[in-house]
Amino acid sequence: MRRPRAGRNVPLSAASTAASVLIASLCMCGSALASSSRTGRHPKTAAHMRLSGGSAARILLRDRTENRREWRLYDQCERTASHRSPGRCSGRRRHALLALRRLSEAKRRFHMLERAPRLTVVGRMLRWEHVVSMDRYILVRRGVGRSSKYRVVDGTSLTPAADPGHTVTYTVRTAVVGSRWARPVKITYASAGGRALARISSDSVHGKGHGRDHESPSSGSTTGGGGATTKEQSYSGEKAESPTSTTTSTTSTTSGESSTTSAPTTVTSEFGPFTVGVNTNMEGWGAEAVPAIAEEMRSLGVKWAREEIDWAEVEAKKGVYDWSRFETMLLAAERDGITILPVIGYAPSWTSPEDAEEYAAFVKLAVQRYGPGTSANLQWWELWNEPYDAYAWSGQTPDAEAYGRDALAAARAAKSVSPSVDMLVAAEYTDAPQTGGTSPWETTWVNDMFLAAPELGKYIAGVAVHPYGGDPALPLLEPGSWKNIDGEWAFQRVDTIRAQFLEHGVNVPFWVTEVGWSTAKVSEAEQAADYAALFEAIRERPWIRALFPYCLREFSPEAGNEESAFGLLKFGSWEPKAAFSVVQKGFANLTS
């Protein structure tokens, strides 16, 4: 979905025939990357690995061709250049050298993906071969009937904590996304004081019977056997604490590895009750569909629906307003006991998203018409839908400072007509591009908002986030990252977003107003497992006080329609997917 960073300019070695021969084998090797030693791997991970391996092979082939072309052009230039113009081919030579570096980097990347470190056991210590240029590895630990524990290890050895009376499987790979896993090993720990037994196994830790990770995250660091530094984000299968409790952690050391245990301490949440809702698009379905949608929402256990007020549609011509579509939906929803969370965005063609004055004027009119104290009495409002995405920002590169000015002006205008109204501001933390601010990437989105609007925190009641990505249980690849160990966007980036708000003295609840998984990309079972992991992650964060999955219904009969397939109900029959009951139970737990 997001534009990847520009490729690295790292070159190769001149016109080496040996390099050409090596690369010529890549077509076959690229295919091998997709299939060899991957059987039985978790479906989503396997697909990601094939993509990464295949991409590395394609890049290597491309860079090989480019390298040959650039050196051929340089050679032609040298043969035809006059002795009177010795510097004429310097530009060609520079391009050839850059192409050579890119080829070298592509070869290095390919071999890191293709090679799996050999994992062995010495006593109770795990050791693995060092992969060239790689000092960071991902270690997976799995016991029978238990969920996996992932950890990032800096080094090539680790002595895991003993697990008396159990057999534990371990495997390791480099921290490069898409690299191969080592052949797993198993350690059988004696029940009491006996010697641990280790054996090599051909079973994959991601093979048959591998479960998803739905566990309570904790973090710590220690030095394991052989001096390896580990950054642990472990996941136990125990039920997480309620959203109105926090945990205090104590760390004990066993056999060179730290283990973290949590003692729950119940406290009253300072962020208020938990709100559950769903994205419905009732306006799109029409007022006649609202009673059926309301019944589906009641079955799911929600009364809130997130609906858009499309500024571009309502005020297509400056000063001329047509509220009819939204108002028809709103009245139908009210009759069926549904509360609307309105989100106002999408600038009309006669203005732009950067026009804070016009946006504020429109928000003021909307709040005056439907806000607290009116017959609609809508209390919470979301300022813009995903302003950090170009599609929502009139096709332009998003501007964090401009959005900060929009949000501040709109919140001030709304409170001038309804002082009790509650406003949600949108925030993100990824490597997507932005303009303005202190960096070209959205890792500084929050800070840049406050740079342009220092008083914003005084006017907002919450933060709206859309933490789409992979499995919410997977830990971050490294501290401060927005990606997990599979290279997908991580749910845990919400922690960084909150930390940035706290740095500006703003401690408000977070509302997850969109999140979900498309069954055009994952299986229904995976979608359900991801939702289960999501609820565990939310319960561990008492500052998250609302959840609105995207979305209730599929809106297309085409199974491959990725956007539609986020729906919890199948198109036409409205038969629930497996995730529906998971969300249903998760909502009940969050609000109990």
- Residue 583 pLDDT more than 60? yes
Q: Which residues pair with 22 in a beta bridge?
A: none
The predicted pLDDT at position 73 comes to 80
Report the alpha-carbon distance of residue 227 to residue 433 in Å, rounded.
39
Give the tens place of pLDDT for each residue, 197-227. Answer: 554 444 433 333 333 333 333 333 333 333 3
What is the reported pLDDT for 552? Answer: 98
Residue 464, classed as helix, strand or coil, is strand
> pLDDT value at position 269?
52
Say which range, 15-29, 92-106, 305-319, 471-485, has the weakest mean pLDDT: 15-29
Answer yes or no: is pLDDT of 276 > 90.
yes
Confidence band for 45, pLDDT divided at 50, 70 and 90 = very low
With 90 as the cut, is the pLDDT of residue 425 above it?
yes
How many residues are given for the chain? 592
Convert the pLDDT of each residue in 248-274 to its tens digit.
Answer: 333 333 333 333 333 332 333 578 899
Confidence bin at 493 (pLDDT 50/70/90): very high
Locate 445 and state its tokens. 């989105």
pTM: 0.63
pLDDT value of position 470? 93
Pick the residue with more confidence: 14 or 352?
352
- Give the pLDDT mean for 275-290: 95
* Pairwise CA distance, residues 199 & 58, whole Å: 38
The mean pLDDT of 437-466, rounded to a whole number, is: 96
What is the C-alpha radius of gyration for the chain, rounded to an integer number of angstroms? 27
DSSP for 234-268?
A: EEESSPPPPTTEEEEEEEEEETTEEEEEEEEEE--
Name the pLDDT band for 1 (thresholds 50, 70, 90). very low
Per-residue pLDDT of 316-368, as tens digits, reads: 999 999 999 999 999 999 999 999 999 999 999 999 999 999 999 999 999 99
Whether 12 shows a pLDDT value over 80: the answer reads no
**b/e per residue 409-419 (b: at least 16 CB within 10 A):** bbbbbbbebbe
Question: Could you say which DSSP state residue 553 is in?
Answer: B
Q: What is the mean pLDDT of the chain?
A: 78
Q: What are the percentages of helix, strand and coil residues in the chain, rounded to 5?
A: 35, 20, 45
For the ranges 74-78, 319-323, 500-504, the lowest mean pLDDT is seen at 74-78
Over 90: is that where the pLDDT of 175 sits?
A: no
The sign of the torsion formed by the CA atoms of 400, 275, 366, 309 equals positive
Task: Give the residue from 232, 20, 2, 12 showing the smallest Cα distance to 103.
Answer: 12
**Is the pLDDT confidence value at 86 over 60?**
no
Indicate if the pLDDT at residue 577 is higher than 80: yes
pLDDT digits (tens, 9 = 90+) for 97-117: 777 777 776 666 665 566 678
pLDDT at 166: 86
Q: What pLDDT was estimated at residue 459?
A: 97
What SS3 state is found at 6? coil
For the cut 70, the answer to whether the pLDDT of residue 62 exceeds it is: yes
Interatomic CA distance for residues 256 and 486, integer angstroms: 27
Displacement of CA 214 from its chain's centroid (Å): 16
